[in-house]
Structure 1
Amino acid sequence: MAVAAVGRGASCHAVARALECATSTVVSAVRRYREGGRQELRDRRENNGRAKVDERFRERLVRVLAGTPEDWGWCRPTWTRELLCQELARRGLVRVSVATMGRTLASLGARLKAAKPIVECPWPGWKRRRRLHAVRCLEVYGPSTEPVLHVDEVDIHLNPKVGRDWCMPGHRRVVVTPGNNQKRYLAGALNVRTGKLTWVEGRSKASALFIQLLWRLASAYRRARRIHLVLDNASVHSSKKTRKVLAHLGRRFVLHFLPPYCPQGNRIERVWLDLHANVTRNHRCRTMDRLLARVHAYLAARSAQRSASPSLRRADPRRTA
């Protein structure tokens, strides 16, 4: 196509732009045609031999990516394309170029991701699994008249949580921060059977916030003789003030503590992640009252619709300021 277009009088640059290829590619094709005719236009990659990247190569690459370089004896904590080429060559596979390794990684769906820091649970594995299994059995096989609620607290900052967003090349999202940060705290409870959310707001993450939630739950579930709460080991959940209120409520609440550093066992953690994604990340609220109004609106809509993103609707332009 390039040779035919140039033969009709078009310039190499115009042909390259029309065919969406490099100008050098058009120039090379025309030169080869003038020197050797049609024979020189044949694809010469047919003599390259068998493809270097086959299924065996891909399987080994996936296996290597499952670990870190230190797992395989290298003095480096993260992978590079060059190091992956060396590791696969060390395993007896064919050595490929860095560009080929990059295309192979893209074909596998591999991409650079930020590491997720966690704190490992100090309990033995069997003990941790047994506690989580007991909580799961309570949710599935517990009496229907005794609600099971996952409880946790979350911080709301006026300074927005900065996160990624889609932008055009050369542009970057700008988020104006108020400067002087303000904080509010929410204590929430998620009913794992109905999806109902119950939450309270406070100015500090102290025992008073959790006690306020207990009174709200006692009023919301007044017909339940017993309410099971699944929560972490925060001090506010077992303080003297909390134990006093629990005794005053007639021991209607039964606390089931999760293993230490086990947030994945608490389902309401997912609610807080969705709250940040839909409301607080990159927000542009100038006042805490405006931000809290959006937080409460999102939680109410999520509780009613049981959807992670109930706020996917057009905002009222009169209320976005």
Structure 2
Amino acid sequence: MEKDDARKNVQSLLEKRKTIVKMKKAGFKKSKIAETCGVSRPMVDAVLSLYEKGGMNALKPKTRGRKEREKRLLSANQESEIQKLIRDKRPEQLKFKFALWTREAVAELVRSKFGVKLAKRTVGDYLKRWNFTPQKPIVRAYEQNPEAVKKWLEEEYPKIKADAVCENAEIHWADETAIVNTDVRGRSYAPCGQTPVVKAPGCRERFSMISAVNNRGKCHWMMIDGAFDATKLIDFMTALVKDVYADGKGKKVFLVMDNLRVHHSKPVKEWLEANTDKISVFYLPSYSPELNPDERLNADLKHEISSNAPARTREKLRSHAESHMKMVSNSPERVIKYFGDKHVSYAA
């Protein structure tokens, strides 16, 4: 009979011990018990001895391995301090050369704070124990004002939301993005040591798109040839107002945008003043793209474009982008999911 390593399974070991006792009570010889259970004769004697001294409760295996915190190089207080520094500070704020909290950066932090040298693998074990996982960071500009963001989340947007109800308005979030045919993202499997090669067009094709989404699943978009300017923005807002007015039975548009210069241009301001009964515009805090749900639509589109073979012509690139956007426009549940991101869930 094939023997099991019961040391790796506490429950299996307990059941095996119980079987040994039951077979002994049934009159089996110890040699037969050892053969049937796949254990040694001394093991049978040891189990029966435990049973005689303490009954079935004595058969429960003792906890194996290190006790909690045994042989750890950092104390509980030191671990807490390191965790707090990683949560609250960037490496550069602590005068380190690292841009991100990698295992190397954490090891250097521990060494500088406590004089303890940790191997990279040991750092990984600590991070796993703390439930710290490697994540793609959100890029935020140095110029972002945390107080302005806090005011937007706690005061300005709640007021916009309340005013929208009073004025029978729909809140839409707008943004612009560039679409290119040379943006290849993601990873590709290949034999170890052989870096895969992706062929990209030598001629770079590019155009822009402006879009707007709302938390009801609506999506409006417009492809733009040439430079994005005030005229293009006014054309988009005109179409948006018309669509919302028709779909929403006369509803007004509350449009939230970033602080791109063209959004504050004189022609745009004049157009907005002439259409105050149909649309009002609100501006996000400066350098805060993560607060705009429409950024998730942009990421969705770019992922779709970059996941396929690069388009060699402008026509194919535009056709691919338009095909995806038509699909998104007809998939309100997909648009609603954009608002599930933790950074924009306030707008859901």
Residue in 2 aligned with 1:245? Answer: 271
User: Which letter does structure 2 place at the counterpart of 1:118?
Assistant: R
Instruction: Identify the match of residue 174 of structure 2 among 142, 148, 151.
Output: 151
Give 1:70 deviation, angstroms: 5.3
With over 3 angstroms needed to count, the CA separation of the structure-2 counterparts of 1:97 and 1:129, relative to structure 1, is: closer
Give 1:271 deviation, angstroms: 1.1
Preserved CA contact (<8 Å) 1:200 1:212: no
Please give the alpha-carbon distance, in whole angstroms, between the structure 2 residues aligned to 1:217 and 1:197: 10
Give 1:240 deviation, angstroms: 2.6
User: Which letter does structure 2 place at the counterpart of 1:229?
Assistant: L
Residue in 2 aligned with 1:186? Answer: 209
Preserved CA contact (<8 Å) 1:52 1:94: no
Q: Deviations 1:38-58 (Å, cap 9, x if unpaired)?
A: xxxxxxx99xx9422578265
Residue in 2 aligned with 1:301? Answer: 327
Instruction: Identify the match of residue 211 of structure 1 among 229, 234, 246.
Output: 234
Residue in 1 aligned with 2:221? Answer: 199
Instruction: Identify the match of residue 172 of structure 1 among 175, 179, 195.
Output: 195
TM-score, normalising length: structure 1: 0.66
Please give the alpha-carbon distance, in whole angstroms, between the structure 2 residues aligned to 1:244 and 1:80: 50
Please give the alpha-carbon distance, in whole angstroms, between the structure 2 residues aligned to 1:52 and 1:257: 51
Please give the alpha-carbon distance, in whole angstroms, between the structure 2 residues aligned to 1:239 and 1:275: 28
Preserved CA contact (<8 Å) 2:181 2:310: no
What's the secondary structure of 1:142's corresponding residue? helix
| Percent identity of equivalent pairs | 20
Larger Rg belongs to? 2
User: Which letter does structure 2 place at the counterpart of 1:199?
Assistant: W
- Aligned pairs for 1:18-167 (under 5 A) are 50-52=70-72, 56=76, 58-66=79-87, 67-68=89-90, 71-72=93-94, 76-77=97-98, 84-85=106-107, 87-88=109-110, 91-92=113-114, 95-105=117-127, 117-121=139-143, 123=145, 125=147, 127-132=148-153, 133-139=155-161, 142-143=164-165, 145-159=168-182, 161-167=183-189
Unpaired runs of 5+ in structure 1?
Answer: 1-44, 311-321
Give 1:115 deviation, angstroms: 6.2
Please give the alpha-carbon distance, in whole angstroms, between the structure 1 residues aligned to 2:237 and 2:102: 51
Q: Aligned pair 1:274/2:300, yes or no?
A: yes
TM-score, normalising length: structure 2: 0.62
Preserved CA contact (<8 Å) 1:163 1:282: no
What's the secondary structure of 2:334's corresponding residue? coil
Preserved CA contact (<8 Å) 1:226 1:253: yes
Structure number with higher helix proportion: 2
Kindly tell me the number of residue pairs found equivalent between the two proteins: 260
Unpaired runs of 5+ in structure 2?
Answer: 1-64, 338-348
Give 1:110 deviation, angstroms: 5.4
